[in-house]
Amino acid sequence: MKNSIFILIAVLSATVSQAQSKVGTIDADYILGQLPEISTVEEGLKTYNTELQEDLQNTIKNYETLVADYREKNVDFSEEEKATKEEEIISLENEIKNFRQKASVLIQMRRNELTQPLYEKIDGAMKEVISEQKYTQIINASANALAFSDPEYDITDAVLTKLGISTP
- Return the closest-CA partner of residue 103 out of 145, 59, 140, 65: 59
Q: Burial-class residue 125 by CB neighbours within 10 Å (0-12, 13-18, 19+).
A: buried
In-domain check, residue 82: yes
Q: Structurally, how many domains does the chain consist of? A: 1
CB-CB neighbours of 129 under 10 Å: 20
Average pLDDT, whole number, for the chain? 85
Say what the pLDDT of residue 8 is: 46
Residue type, 58: N
Q: What is the CATH number of the domain that holds 138?
A: 3.30.910.20
DSSP string, 96-128: HHHHHHHHHHHHHHHHHHHHHHHHHHHHHHHHH
For residue 49, CA distances in Å to 43, 66, 67, 94, 137 come to 10, 26, 27, 20, 38
The whole-number pLDDT of residue 21 equals 84
Give me the domain span that covers residue 81.
22-162
Q: Is residue 10 part of a domain?
A: no
Over residues 64-120, the pLDDT tens digits come to 999 998 888 888 888 898 889 889 999 999 999 999 889 989 999 999 999 999 999
Assess if residue 7 is contained within a domain.
no
pLDDT the model gives residue 152: 82
The yes-or-no verdict on residue 42 having pLDDT over 80 is yes
Average pLDDT in the 126-143 region? 88
Indicate whether 28 belongs to any domain.
yes
Question: What confidence score (pLDDT) does residue 20 get?
Answer: 75
Q: Is residue 129 part of a domain?
A: yes
Q: Are 123 and 162 in contact (CB under 8 A)?
A: no
Residue 97 lies in a domain: yes
In a domain, 17, yes or no: no
Q: Nearest CA to 134 among 24, 9, 30, 15?
A: 24
* Residue 167 included in any domain: no
